[in-house]
Copies of this chain bind each other. A is one copy, B any other.
Amino acid sequence: MIYLDYAAATPVDDRVMAAMQPFLATEFYNPSAAYMAALAVREKYEEARHDIAKVIGAVKAEIIMTAGATESINLALRSFEHVLTTAIEHPAVLGCVGSGDIVNVDGGGRVDLADLRAKITDATELISVGYANSEIGVVQPIKEIARIVQDVRADRLERGVATPIYFHTDASAAAGMLELGVARLGVDMMTLNAGKCYGPKQVGCLYVRAGVKLRPAVCGGGQEMGLRSGTENVAGAIGFAAALKIAEKKRKVETVRLGKMRDDLERYLIGKSNVKDAPGKHFRTLPVKINGDCKHRLPNILNFSIPGLDGERAVFALDFAGVMVATGSACAANKGLRSHVLTAIGLDDRTADGSIRSSLGRGTTREEMEETKKILAQVLPSELALSQE
């Protein structure tokens, strides 16, 4: 079986498992306890927090550990009433805009900066734009948005408007793929998710720049500086730190490696493969459309549509033939709904329903990709024919 759904879930790296193990079995102490063995655990936990902070160029006190991206996003957004975001965001973001508004994206999924500027009012407290979209891979102009936020701040200061404005980005899909330095990006808050970068599931964090005031997400024992109560997930945090460090270390080599393989598959699908005897000929007759901005895109994601194809049935057929891919975002997939992302970038229903997302990852090999081409060439034309019957 060839796994090409790394954007939905990643296996826990062996080194991450090894780092976590002692904190499940023997060093299991509650980090809030007073004895030395617990203090040692507390120290390791804080070290993990420090390591995570370091990867993104933050300091320890700016990292709030959470149970994953959904919780981080809720923690970041629910403290604010007027939130601006885009229509291609994660459902957690779209569910928390309060009295805010949705900013347009173009056909590639990139945020419309002029529309963003136009929609910022004096009531706007937060802008939340995902760094990279897990469904179509589009990478947003984070630095440009940060600059707009800076301008708004300067303008508000001049006009004596006291409402602060902050910028949050969900970088779950970006970890290990894009540069994460929060200062260089200019973000005030950043969501990260261990489960998407070869760490444990239901572990994440929210970077909160010193000075940004949030409301606690839950009431309780007051852990995580009062913002996120609950006995600390020590093993999870340590696994997350290990995973993030590995992802960052591998980033440059891995993005080149995956990008090449992704581009090769793309060329093949759109019939531009220059290998003479490749089975690409099958696709020359198929109307393959690539979804997501091709210039600003994660190197590991290839989302394409064949209008008229039944994407869901194609996923089953491809699975049967040996390739695991997706038709929409993992969260939307089991509800039988059309992807809100594909609709937002302007795809008509036929094109959206005929979409396939393949996402490459650390385990992906050249051999797997060659095999994938063959399987796609074998399955998709007949699936399209069946769908159109």
Contacts and interface: CB of A to CB of B under 8 A. Distances in A.
A173 to B, nearest CB: 13
A12 B151 CA distance: 51
A230 B71 contact: yes
Contact of A222 (B71, B222, B231, B331): B331
A220 B315 CA distance: 24
In this complex, the member of A30, A71, A232, A324 whose beta carbon has the largest number of chain B beta carbons within 10 angstroms is A30
Q: A-side binding surface: helix, strand, loop or mixed?
A: loop
Interface in A1-42: 1, 5, 8-12, 14, 17, 24-26, 28-30, 32-38
A67 B70 contact: no
Nearest to A216: B95
Contact of A327 (B14, B34, B67, B327): B34
Given A218-B71, A220-B70, A324-B37, A235 B200 contact: yes
Interface string A62-88: 000001111101100000000000000
Interface in A138-152: none
Number of copies: 2
Contacts of A70: 218-221, 229-231
A332 interface: yes
B32 A11 contact: no
A202 interface: yes
A333 interface: yes
A10 B27 CA distance: 10
A201 interface: yes
Nearest to A193: B231
Given A11-B26, A67-B71, A1 B201 contact: no
Interface in A154-183: none
A326 interface: yes
B202 A230 contact: yes
Interface in A186-238: 195, 200-203, 217-223, 229-236
Size class of the contact patch on chain A: 35 or more
Interface in A28-58: 28-30, 32-38
B33 A201 contact: no
19 contacts: A8-B29, A8-B33, A9-B30, A11-B24, A17-B25, A24-B200, A33-B330, A33-B333, A34-B316, A34-B334, A36-B319, A67-B68, A92-B218, A200-B235, A201-B234, A202-B202, A217-B218, A221-B332, A231-B331
Interface of A: 1, 5, 8-12, 14, 17, 24-26, 28-30, 32-38, 67-71, 73-74, 90-92, 94-96, 195, 200-203, 217-223, 229-236, 312, 315-316, 319, 324-327, 330-335
Given A201-B235, A221-B332, 14 more contacts: A5-B33, A11-B24, A32-B330, A33-B324, A34-B327, A34-B334, A73-B220, A90-B221, A201-B231, A201-B232, A201-B233, A229-B331, A231-B330, A231-B331
